[in-house]
Amino acid sequence: MPAFVQEIRIQLPHIDLAARVYGPEDGQPVLALHGWLDNCMTFELLAPKLQGLRIVAIDMAGHGHSGHRAPGAGYQLWDYALDALMATQQLGWEKFSLLGHSLGGIVSVLIAASVPERVERVALIDGLVPDTGEADKAAKKLGEALLAQIDLAAKKKTVYASIEQAVQVRMRGFMPVSQLASELLAQRGLSPVAGGYSWSSDARLTLPSPLRLTMAHAAAFVQAVQCPMLLVLAEQGVLVKEPQFMQFLNTLSLDVQRLPGGHHLHLDDEEGAQAVAEQVQAFFSTQ
């Protein structure tokens, strides 16, 4: 482990969160939030390239080395937002900035919009707003989510014979990543079990959302952000493939920088991490 990286635990009243800390103690405080089914190793290539920042990259609840939520609890966006805000209080940060990838970017927007007096800057990597759903589909979606939650108890996690097999499968997942990215995520995401290895993330993370924000809700949250906000958009990522999202993006007054690479462009290779770092560094260096 590099000398400038620390492992810490943040004890909240309802859950313990694990985190990796990068950068000098007197750097600008930045809370880094990773994507769905990833962990804080998603920032392992990027964070060391950012100067003057004190980056605390947490494993969000149910991911990595952090605790899982209690039985009966869930993993809604606002639950993550509460965890993050409470974590900054434990860290003694009156004001802070946010660095979020994918799901972590969505949660970052919710936090910045909801408590604007606490947030100084928001840097997003291929994440801005969640998948939305309009009112006429709400009842059907809730029914699907409730039944999926009931059925989850009968499902078993996949066990891989080796770490290498798990890495290869993760590379070809819903959001494909490079071998380097998969290996880094596996370092923190795999646990030994009977017969091999399994991802330690909470199985409830795969459940469908019982209720989605409408497009009007999503727009209102983005428009409520009062601090400077940067979106690094991956040209081969998931967002640019969604016509509705791109139409929505064109209606916003937002600093958008497009870079080559996939959804995990900051983690897939050193070149992508450097390109993202240059944009993020410039963003945090401006007055």
**Residues 78-128 pLDDT 10s:** 999 999 999 999 999 999 999 999 999 999 999 999 999 999 999 999 999
Structure tokens at 151: 């059925």
Q: Which of 102, 108, 182, 201 is catalytic?
A: 102
**158-76-89 Cα angle (round to 5):** 110
**161-70-94 Cα angle (round to 5):** 105
Residue 47 has φ and ψ, to the nearest 5°, of -55, -45
d(CA 120, CA 16): 26
* Residue boundaries of the structural domains of the chain: 5-133+214-285
CB 240 within 8 A of CB 177: no
**196 φ/ψ sector (left φ>0, alpha ψ -120 to 50, else beta):** left
Per-residue confidence of the chain (287 residues) as pLDDT tens digits? 444 799 999 999 999 999 999 999 999 999 999 999 999 999 999 999 999 999 999 999 999 999 999 999 999 999 999 999 999 999 999 999 999 999 999 999 999 999 999 999 999 999 999 999 999 999 999 999 999 999 998 999 999 999 999 999 999 988 999 999 999 999 999 999 999 999 999 999 999 999 999 999 999 999 999 999 999 999 999 999 999 999 999 989 899 999 999 999 999 999 999 999 999 999 999 86
For helices 215-224 and 103-114, give the axis angle rounded to 10 degrees: 60
Q: What fold does the segment set 5-133+214-285 form as a domain? A: Rossmann fold (3.40.50)
What is the three-class DSSP state of 258?
A: strand
CB 129 within 8 A of CB 221: yes
Q: Establish whether 209 is a catalytic residue.
A: no
* Among 192, 199, 178, 193, CA closest to 36: 199
What is the structure's pLDDT at 4?
A: 78
Q: How far apart are the first and last CA of the chain?
A: 33
